[in-house]
Amino acid sequence: MSERDLHGLAASPGVAAGEVWLLDARELPDEPHRGHEAEAAAAVGALAAEAAELGAQAESLRADGLADEAEILVANQLMALDPLLRDEVARLTAELTAPAALRTAAARHAELLAALEDPLLAARATDVRELGRRAARSLAGGVASPPASGPLVVVASDLGPADVAELRTSKAAVVAIALAHGAATSHAAIVARSLGLPMVVALGDDLLAPAARAVVDADDGVVYLEPSLGRRRWAVAEMERLADRRRSLARSRALPPVTHDGQWVTLLCNASTTVEIDAGLAAEADGVGLLRTELAFLEATAWPTEAEHERALAPLLALVPGRVATVRVLDFGEDKTPPFLAGTTERGLALLLDRPDHLAAQLRALLRAAGDAELRVLLPLVESAHQMRSVRALLRTAAADAGWSRPLPPLGAMIETPEAARRAREIALESDFLSLGTNDLVQYTLGYDRTEPLATAASAADPRVLALIAATAEAAHATGVTVEICGESASLPELAALYVGLGVDELSVAPARIDEVRATVRALRADLAAAAATRALAAESQDAALAIARRLLSGELGNEQHEVLGGRGGVLA
């Protein structure tokens, strides 16, 4: 059979090859109806068993330090225990078999959530639908057994987060996931990224046609069914190459992140779980440059209490005594909207300042949980100096209430919109540091929809975005404060090189990218990086700017500069 390529959305990066393990390609057939009471008992019992299984998986994840991923499964467990869902399932069994009732009731609840037109709730709709499918499958004896040999590529119509977590604990050697449907922003994608499983979604129903082997290129969002021998060899070689690269970079962790001409760049990690912090510290990060606090509360039914904040923060901050810990206060809104805020149009700091009591509660909890960490407080989506002054007043009061005896922790502003970048100087005057969130800055500057995976990290190389970053860095240094980049773009070598050239002081990236970024910094000369950044600012396009950065990293730009200066009688330091 010839090779077939299917294009979808990259949800979790990586490349893998293996035998296909096809899950849930068709709806399971129903047995004859056994009577209302028997069917109701079976259906409700399946939901109870599913709830118990979800709880066990959540405990397993929590034991491994994956607290945020565990909370996702706990939320699904609560769905399985929802009395409204159970009642509807029992009512439907008057006419339907237990598996059909489970699928039908779950589908109806999913449709109600999807109709709210909220990206986060739409992701939950997928979780509810998968809950019904899982419970129905359990009545039929579970899913098909995996092929006898591995590695395996799981292929399915869709999967919920519990399904992905279950793959992690199974004995099968799962190396990647390919889904006909699903979303790159789903909870299943979050769990896949946490577990390091490459995943491509939205590939279409053609994916479910019988196939023996697959290659998953989750960097480009392509899956190859019945790949050619050459394609399989490429995938295996790519997997080995990436593994070798990771091992090679890890051997240089003891070396400082300093350019050839002596410019030091502080390397920090982005995190939301203890596992991520541990991984960042193992990679010799200097601390945490972005600790996300909202992910623990995305399923909350009310504003988190002070005690809930402290319980979530204390274990994380205990891991970084004597190190920088930059904690971002709740960044609710848009695709990070918990149920109790459904329908809100506000986001970030504006949302918090409209509810100052809840912001004050988090600040008090943060100060109480800080321990010996070098705490920094980061505010999302700052738009004005007035906002900074308002929060600083709240922080002073919170410090007094919490019995904080040290100087107030540094207060930082996230610059995430073009307007904030234009106001960077006045914001910097009221801040102790600035942090550029390039994910949002790209989307607001270039007009991308935050809920769609259109804006890649490389889009930050667009000269319009680079100009805003340059203006922010200049404003920060003019007022004597440091500036960091905490968006995903900083993990790309080309962008990291340009950011060094623009004078960025700190780069905060995912733990898995720290070694790569350190190697990038050490390969640079700051003066040549500055020259490359100047050229990139004047480039005609994103691709042209990236090409300049690649020439810098290859050494070609340095040779050009040497030739020009040498021709003029100049000397390079």
User: In this structure, which long-range contacts are made by residues 300-303, counting pairs with CB atoms below 8 Å and at least 24 apart in sequence?
Assistant: 300/338, 300/339, 300/340, 301/338, 301/339, 301/340, 302/340, 303/340, 303/355, 303/358, 303/361
pLDDT at 567: 34
559 pLDDT tier (thresholds 50, 70, 90):
low
48 pLDDT tier (thresholds 50, 70, 90):
confident
Residues 6+ apart with CB under 8 A from 514: 267, 269, 280, 283, 284, 285
Same domain flag for 466 and 329: yes
Same domain flag for 504 and 374: yes
Residue 32 has pLDDT above 50, yes or no: yes
Same domain flag for 225 and 108: no
Q: Whole-prediction pTM value?
A: 0.71
pLDDT tens per residue, range 113-149: 666 555 555 556 667 777 777 787 777 655 555 666 6
Residue 29 has pLDDT above 80, yes or no: no
Instruction: Let me know if 269 is a catalytic residue.
Output: no
What CATH number does the domain containing 399 carry?
3.20.20.60
Boundary of a domain, candidates 251, 266, 285: 251
pLDDT at 562: 45
Q: Is the separation of the CB atoms in 436 and 508 below 8 Å?
A: no
Q: Is residue 572 part of a domain?
A: no
User: Domains in the chain: how many in total?
Assistant: 3
Q: Is residue 376 part of a domain?
A: yes
pLDDT tens per residue, range 353-380: 999 999 999 999 999 999 999 999 999 9
Residue 112 has pLDDT above 80, yes or no: no
Same domain flag for 284 and 391: yes
Instruction: Let me know if 486 is a catalytic residue.
Output: yes
Give the mean pLDDT of the chain: 85
Same domain flag for 433 and 561: yes
Boundary of a domain, candidates 251, 276, 296: 251
Same domain flag for 9 and 136: no
Q: Is residue 528 part of a domain?
A: yes
Q: Is residue 561 part of a domain?
A: yes
Q: Is residue 573 part of a domain?
A: no
Ramachandran angles phi, psi of 219, nearest 5°: -80, -35
pLDDT tens per residue, range 265-320: 999 998 887 777 888 899 999 999 999 898 778 767 789 999 999 998 999 999 99
pLDDT at 384: 97
Ramachandran angles phi, psi of 175, nearest 5°: -115, -15
Q: Closest Cα to residue 283, out of 306, 313, 249?
A: 249
Same domain flag for 378 and 280: yes
What CATH number does the domain containing 10 carry?
3.50.30.10
Q: Is residue 571 part of a domain?
A: no
Residue 206 has pLDDT above 90, yes or no: yes
Same domain flag for 217 and 331: no
233 pLDDT tier (thresholds 50, 70, 90):
very high
Same domain flag for 247 and 258: no
Q: Is the separation of the CB atoms in 361 and 309 below 8 Å?
A: yes
Q: Which of 109, 181, 187, 309 is catalytic?
A: 187
Identify the domain containing residue 13 by its residue range: 1-17+151-188+198-251
419 pLDDT tier (thresholds 50, 70, 90):
very high
Same domain flag for 260 and 239: no
Of 345 and 257, the one with more pLDDT: 257
Q: Is residue 109 part of a domain?
A: yes
What CATH number does the domain containing 87 carry?
1.10.274.10
Q: Is residue 398 part of a domain?
A: yes
Boundary of a domain, candidates 142, 176, 211: 142
Same domain flag for 272 and 401: yes
Same domain flag for 242 and 274: no
